[in-house]
Structure 1
C-alpha cells in the first residue's frame, strides 16, 4: 500500500502544474515517451514534459507526462524524501512547433550531506493528515519540511498524506484543484521554513491522476 501511495504522489507532482494557442500532446506513461491527443494550450503556455521517479526500498517506478505547462513550471526540478522513499521530478519545455516534444528532463542528483534540518516523516493512504514522532535528517537541497495532502472525490474516493524533507521548488506548488471525468481533486503542498532544528509541517494542496489509481487495487 505504501508503494502505491508513493507512486500516486509521483504522478501528482507531474500534474500539479497545468497547462498560447499552441497545441501540445497530452499523455502519460511509465516510460520516457508517450503518445496522445493534441490539446490547445492557454495563452503563454508551452509544450512540456514532467518526468518523475519514485523509489521505495528496492522498488522504483517512473511517470512521464506531456501537457501544456506555464513558463514558470518549465524550470521545475526538485525532490521529496521520507523514511519510506524518495520522489524526484523535473520538467522541460519547447515551443518551436505545435505538438513539439521537449527533451527528457534531467532529474536532481542524490546527496548524503546533511544540511542540519530535521523533519517529521510519515505517510497515510487513508487520510489527508499524518503525524508521528518519527523524524528524518534532511540532506542536500532538501531544506524544507513538507506535508503534501490529496483529496479525491466523485466516482472514486481517495485521501493521502506524505510528510518529509523537500526542496523549495515543491513547496512553491501551493494549493491546486481540478475536476475531470467526474472526479474532483484537491492537492495541498505546505512547508515550514528550512532553518535548522525540528520543523513542524502544515497542510499543502495538490492534484491527482487516475493513471496510478490502479496501484491501489
Structure 2
C-alpha cells in the first residue's frame, strides 16, 4: 500500500454525510494523491444533552487520520473521532470518541458561541485534560439544511492541526475552519498571563 502513495496512486472513496450517529452511504469519488478513505464522527453536547451529531465518509488527507480530539466551551463539549482505511471504496471502522478528562491543566482561553461564522471571546475558561490550545471554530452547512455557527474555547492540538475541512455531497456541503493559538496560563488565583503567537 505504501508504494501506491509514493507513486501518487489515487484511491476511490465513498463520499456521504449523515446528520446523526449512523454511518452513511453515498457515491464513489476519486481522491487526490496521498488521500485515503476516512470517516469522522462529531458529537456536540451541552449541559442539557446531545445538541448535534454528524457522521461523514470521504477522502481525507493521510495526516488527518490522527485528528481525533475534543473542544470545550462552558457547559459544552465537541468530540471528533476519525478512522481511516487504505483500499478503494473501503469502509472505515466506526470512529471512537475520546474519554472525558476534567483535570485542569493551567491553560486559559477566551470563550463564546454564535449562530454566525464569527464570535468575539469576551469571557474566559480554564482548560482541562489534553485541551491545551485556544480554538476559534467556524462551521457553515448548506444544502438540504442551512445554518452556520462559531465558537471559541479549549482544544486538543490534534483538532487545531486540522486547519480546515470540507465535505460536499449532492445534497449537503459542510465547511469547517479551525484557528488556534496558545492562549494564556493561569498564574495565580484570579489572574492569567496571555501568551501571543
TM-score range, shorter chain: 0.7 to 0.9
Q: Deviations over 1:1-57 (max 9, x none)?
A: xxxxxxxxxxxxxxxxxxx42111111221331111111111121111111111112
8 Å CA contact retained: 1:128, 1:159: no
Q: Structure 2: which 5+ residue stretches go unaligned?
A: 1-8, 187-191
In structure 1, what is the Cα distance between the partners aligned to 2:37 and 2:174?
A: 23
Aligned partner of 2:85 in structure 1 is 94
8 Å CA contact retained: 2:131, 2:157: yes
Q: Normalization by structure 1: what TM-score?
A: 0.70
Aligned partner of 1:27 in structure 2 is 16
8 Å CA contact retained: 2:139, 2:176: yes
Q: 2:126 aligns with which of 118, 123, 137?
A: 137
**1:1-217 to 2 correspondences below 5 Å:** 20-29=9-18, 30-60=20-50, 61-96=52-87, 98-132=88-122, 134-150=123-139, 160-175=149-164, 187-193=176-182, 196-197=185-186, 198=192
More strand as a share of residues: 2
For the residue of structure 1 that corresponds to 2:63, the secondary structure is helix
CA RMSD of aligned residues (A): 3.3
CA separation of 1:33 and 1:178: change in aligned 2, threshold 3 A: closer
Return the index of the structure with the highest Cα Rg: 2
For the residue of structure 1 that corresponds to 2:158, the secondary structure is helix
Aligned residues: 181
Q: Structure 1: which 5+ residue stretches go unaligned?
A: 1-19, 203-217
In structure 2, what is the Cα distance between the partners aligned to 1:138 and 1:117?
A: 5
- Which has the bigger relative contact order, CA under 8 A and spacing at least 6? 1
Q: Normalization by structure 2: what TM-score?
A: 0.76
In structure 1, what is the Cα distance between the partners aligned to 2:173 and 2:40?
A: 22
More helix as a share of residues: 1
In structure 2, what is the Cα distance between the partners aligned to 1:47 and 1:62?
A: 20
In structure 1, what is the Cα distance between the partners aligned to 2:159 and 2:195?
A: 14
8 Å CA contact retained: 2:184, 2:194: no
8 Å CA contact retained: 2:66, 2:158: no
